[in-house]
Structure 1
Amino acid sequence: MSVTPQTNTTIEEIAERLRTLDSFALCGHVSPDGDCIGSALGLSHALRMLGKKTTCLLAADAPIEPGLRFLPGADELIYAGDYDETPDAFIALDVPTIERIKDAAVVHDRAGVRVTIDHHAVDTTMAELSYTDPDAPACGMLVWDLIRAFGIEPPRESAICCYTALMTDTGRFQYQNTSAEAFRYAMEMVRCGANPADASQNVYQSRSEASFALEAVMLSRLFKDPSGRWAISFVTRDDMERTGAVKSDTETLIDTVRSMAGIQVACILREQDGEVRGSLRAKGDDVDVSVLARRIGGGGHKAAAGFTYKGTLDEALKDVPRLIDRLFDKGGLD
């Protein structure tokens, strides 16, 4: 464990405080991934077991990835803009800044108490009760600690959700952040009812035909740096329309590039709503892609990060490769 200076409490103190409250709004970051959704739903089920009223919010008015719809409670997720209650507490999960909860910020502001549980290292906090451990492979692990701190046996629904959170943020237990602790927590979650085969099949083995068509397009324009250390590709709005792909079909592209032999950094750029979304992945311990992501206004972890580029795709294709090159320089991006 390596909590950040912004941490001002303990998991046990958060558990004690939440027990005194009755209603909760839970929300993660915009464009939620498995850790984000799994953490929110996992905690929600545990709070309901304690007799609490919970609502899990989506930071933007957009559907979640199809592969996450199997999670218990996923059908109850609502867009934050449609939520008009004032909860006793707003719990931000897997998200470090107010900007990243987008349309849920107004709910955050009017809540009685604000709580953050996260594993992203940032310089600020947006909550009175804040617990951040950047060494945790997934926010779902911290949620599991919180559920245990309630003094209850985690419900099966929480086990399924938290296991999925851990599985996805460790890349099926393949990323560098996969620690011995991650396997110990996964074992506990399985004992409490999580089904690894079911989670893997839903998240990773249910790809659409359109996702394969989009991958072929992406690979056809893949650029590999002459040094062989990094590779980059992109997809356009036209690519999405022509193949019939949707946003969730782009999620596997980055790992395809990352899997190439010799590649230390992989990058995928995607046109979306007048902006360019970037995904970054790293292999090994030599490069920290979160440094690059933060330089462009994004964030993440050493081996997995993302950003939104404020410019055209052509501009991004000039700027981002130059920044990736600098990651390998002795001075880095400093």
Structure 2
Amino acid sequence: MAVTPQTNTTLNEIAEALLKHDRICICGHVSPDGDCIGSQLALRCALAQLGKEVVVLLASADKLGVSFEFLPGFEELIPAASFEGTCDVFVQVDVPNARRLGEDASKIRQSASLTITIDHHAVDERETHLSYTDPDAASTSMLVWETIKHLGVDLTKDIATCAYTGLMTDTGRFQYQNADLRAFRAACEMVEAGADPAFISAEFFQRATLASIQLEAAAISNMRFICDGCVALSFITQDEMKRAGAVKSDCEQLINTLRSIDGVKVAAMLRDEGKQVRGSFRSKDTTDVSAIAKRFGGGGHKAAAGFTLYEPLDKAVRMVEKALCQVFCEGNN
């Protein structure tokens, strides 16, 4: 399909398209976060209310953490590699490009007669028939929430719980710079529809596994401060993952530990996956970490971004440290 500008439709038109089809697959990105899973399951709840045949796919087979288990519909998530049915409409949420969608899910997308994107990542190109992206939205779940309102369904507690989880996590519990008036208004609507902020926060943020605590200790041990203490940089090795019996989801909150340190403006966290190193940036000032991530072929948002390096861990650490020093130590920020 020819590539054209990123947005070519409206959320209302996406809703109208969904109403015309019955077999729908909803997929997020690899290594899904709360916004990704929350968006998928919120849309699933709404479409199921309409009697649609809905399948919610995981782009990769990685085990999800216990913090997702409370979400309505969690038990229906299946790896894309295990899907054997047919798909009339493929909806990708919180997915900026095919690389983040993964090979298995991409094959399913290719088989669909209609493909749809709902996302809040800034991209230059679109990869689906219908594409709506709004980089000013605090979360993809906010856009899914608006789409659901166009479907004409009841805004149930289950829908609100999933959507609120996405919004809460992508705003860092409403602490990040993207927690604007629009985000709070959407959150109020979700709470009015039945979302319980205290319950959701407790389920998502207060169910740490022992493995995640052990990894936090390792991350702190490996941590170094650079650029006069403005940047906290750390990493997790494969051996540390194995010793803790950890899975990828156990690493999700590590970067927030680094980011919370007084005086740190940017946190950088690297995880060795063997053939590649997965990296994340978080900012708590005006530093645009997505611009730094783009140097490594990654991207994301101004305050939160990710990337992948196909290098040994020690070399990856040096590369990231050099890039951060160029921003902070050479006055290019």
Q: What TM-score does the superposition give when structure 1 sets the normalisation length?
A: 0.95
After TM superposition, give the deviation of residue 48 of structure 1 in Å. 1.1
Q: Take 1:76 and 1:221, find their aligned partners in 2: how far apart are those partners?
A: 38
Q: Take 2:151 and 2:215, find their aligned partners in 1: how far apart are those partners?
A: 45
Q: Which amino acid letter does the alignment assign opposite residue 193 of structure 2?
A: C
Partner of 1:161, secondary structure, is helix
| Alignment of 1:84 onto 2:84 | yes
After TM superposition, give the deviation of residue 172 of structure 1 in Å. 0.6
Change (3 A) 1:83 1:210: closer
Provide the residue aligned with 2:161 in structure 1: 160
1:282-322 CA deviation, whole Å, 9 max, x = no partner?
0112x111112122122111101111111000101111011
Q: Which runs of 5+ in 1 are unaligned?
A: none
Provide the residue aligned with 1:299 in structure 2: 299
Q: Take 1:248 and 1:331, find their aligned partners in 2: how far apart are those partners?
A: 34
The farther-off stretch of 238-247 and 139-148 is 238-247
Q: Is the 8 A contact 2:63 2:247 kept in 1?
A: no
| Alignment of 1:122 onto 2:138 | no
Q: Is the 8 A contact 2:271 2:278 kept in 1?
A: yes
After TM superposition, give the deviation of residue 151 of structure 1 in Å. 2.3
Q: Is the 8 A contact 2:227 2:325 kept in 1?
A: no
Provide the residue aligned with 1:12 in structure 2: 12
Partner of 2:263, secondary structure, is coil
After TM superposition, give the deviation of residue 330 of structure 1 in Å. 4.3
Change (3 A) 1:91 1:226: closer
The farther-off stretch of 236-245 and 88-97 is 236-245
After TM superposition, give the deviation of residue 5 of structure 1 in Å. 4.5
Q: Is the 8 A contact 2:25 2:91 kept in 1?
A: yes
The farther-off stretch of 183-192 and 236-245 is 236-245
After TM superposition, give the deviation of residue 63 of structure 1 in Å. 1.7
Partner of 1:134, secondary structure, is coil
Tell me how large the CA RMSD over aligned residues is.
1.4
Provide the residue aligned with 2:98 in structure 1: 98
Q: Which amino acid letter does the alignment assign opposite residue 237 of structure 1?
A: Q
Paired positions, count: 328
Q: Which runs of 5+ in 2 are unaligned?
A: none
| Alignment of 1:278 onto 2:279 | yes
After TM superposition, give the deviation of residue 208 of structure 1 in Å. 1.8
Q: Take 1:148 and 1:250, find their aligned partners in 2: how far apart are those partners?
A: 34
Provide the residue aligned with 2:195 in structure 1: 194
Partner of 1:198, secondary structure, is helix
After TM superposition, give the deviation of residue 331 of structure 1 in Å. 4.3
Q: Which amino acid letter does the alignment assign opposite residue 18 of structure 1?
A: L
After TM superposition, give the deviation of residue 223 of structure 1 in Å. 0.6
Aligned pairs for 1:109-148 within 5 A:
109-148=110-149
Q: Take 1:235 and 1:98, find their aligned partners in 2: how far apart are those partners?
A: 27
The farther-off stretch of 80-89 and 27-36 is 80-89
Provide the residue aligned with 1:245 in structure 2: 246
Q: Percent identity?
A: 50
Partner of 2:172, secondary structure, is coil
Aligned pairs for 1:14-29 within 5 A:
14-29=14-29
Q: Take 1:63 and 1:210, find their aligned partners in 2: how far apart are those partners?
A: 14
The farther-off stretch of 151-160 and 122-131 is 151-160
Provide the residue aligned with 1:222 in structure 2: 223
Q: Which amino acid letter does the alignment assign opposite residue 75 of structure 1?
A: E
After TM superposition, give the deviation of residue 246 of structure 1 in Å. 2.6
Provide the residue aligned with 1:260 in structure 2: 261
| Alignment of 1:319 onto 2:316 | no
After TM superposition, give the deviation of residue 244 of structure 1 in Å. 3.1
Aligned pairs for 1:5-84 within 5 A:
5-84=5-84
After TM superposition, give the deviation of residue 221 of structure 1 in Å. 2.3
Q: Take 2:60 and 2:241, find their aligned partners in 1: how far apart are those partners?
A: 21
Partner of 1:234, secondary structure, is strand
1:187-206 CA deviation, whole Å, 9 max, x = no partner?
11111111111111111101
Q: Which amino acid letter does the alignment assign opposite residue 41 of structure 1?
A: L
1:178-226 CA deviation, whole Å, 9 max, x = no partner?
0111111111111111111111111110112232222122112211014
Change (3 A) 1:194 1:226: same
Q: Is the 8 A contact 2:5 2:126 kept in 1?
A: no
| Alignment of 1:178 onto 2:179 | yes
Q: Take 1:219 and 1:306, find their aligned partners in 2: how far apart are those partners?
A: 20
Q: Which amino acid letter does the alignment assign opposite residue 267 of structure 2?
A: A
Partner of 2:169, secondary structure, is helix
After TM superposition, give the deviation of residue 233 of structure 1 in Å. 0.8
Q: Take 1:168 and 1:213, find their aligned partners in 2: how far apart are those partners?
A: 22
